[in-house]
């Protein structure tokens, strides 16, 4: 594979919210994202945004089904998610507490997920954000029988 454009990961994702500006602020406060780029349109609308989480990147935009029928928020899709986001964090307990305090709905409390001695053991939790997107945050505990 050729190198990616400077500053871009190999893969990124876009999430759509009914209120992208509120979502951006919330994602930074609750999960620790940082705004890398925010392009504003008429009336302060969010035309494009890029948020980073370590070397990961997501784009957050407004759900505009009248203009882009396939781009909907979970609320516009009956609560359905067409993708779920997963990220590794340094301390899953601290991260979960921060998300909970910011108003995330904790769907599954932090728990150990052990895939056996040949694979890995993680501790992670699942939550739902203010727009209805599901997120999983994990901390690697062991890899192939070795402590992380």
6 domain residue, yes or no: no
Asked whether the beta carbons of 88 and 138 are under 8 A apart, the reply is yes
Instruction: Quote the CA–CA distance of 12 and 126 in Å, as a whole number.
Output: 20
- Structural domain range at position 27: 13-147
133 domain residue, yes or no: yes
Low-confidence ranges of the chain (pLDDT < 50): none
Where residue 18 sits, what CATH number does that domain have? Answer: 3.10.180.10
Q: What is the CA radius of gyration of the chain?
A: 17
Q: What is the pLDDT of residue 132?
A: 93
Q: What does the pLDDT look like over 29-49, one tens digit per residue? A: 999 999 999 999 888 889 899
Q: What is the pLDDT of residue 146?
A: 79
Instruction: Quote the CA–CA distance of 31 and 95 in Å, as a whole number.
Output: 7
Cβ neighbourhood burial of 125 (10 Å; 0-12, 13-18, 19+): buried
Give, in degrees to the nearest 5, the angle at Cα 82 between 140 and 48.
Answer: 90
pTM, two decimals, is 0.88
Domains identified in the chain, total number: 1
2 domain residue, yes or no: no
Q: What does the pLDDT look like over 103-125, one tens digit per residue? A: 999 999 999 999 988 899 999 99
Q: What is the pLDDT of residue 65?
A: 67
The string over 84-95, giving b where at least 16 C-beta atoms fall within 10 Å of a residue's C-beta and e elsewhere, is ebebbbeebeeb
19 domain residue, yes or no: yes
4 domain residue, yes or no: no
38 domain residue, yes or no: yes
124 domain residue, yes or no: yes
CA 56 from chain centre, in angstroms, equals 9
55 domain residue, yes or no: yes
């Amino acid at each position: 594979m050729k190198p990616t454009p400077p500053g871009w990961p190999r893969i990124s994702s876009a999430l759509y919210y009914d209120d992208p500006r509120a979502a951006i602020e919330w994602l930074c406060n609750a999960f620790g994202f940082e705004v890398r780029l925010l392009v504003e349109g008429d009336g302060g609308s969010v035309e494009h945004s890029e948020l980073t989480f370590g070397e990961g990147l997501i784009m957050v935009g407004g759900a505009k089904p009248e203009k882009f029928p396939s781009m909907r928020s979970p609320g516009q899709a009956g609560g359905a998610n067409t993708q779920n986001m997963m990220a590794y964090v340094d301390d899953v307990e601290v991260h979960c507490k921060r998300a909970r305090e910011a108003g995330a709905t904790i769907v599954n409390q932090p728990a150990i997920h052990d895939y056996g001695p040949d694979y890995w053991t993680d501790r992670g939790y699942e939550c739902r954000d203010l727009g209805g997107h599901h997120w999983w945050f994990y901390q690697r505990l062991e890899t192939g029988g070795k402590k992380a």
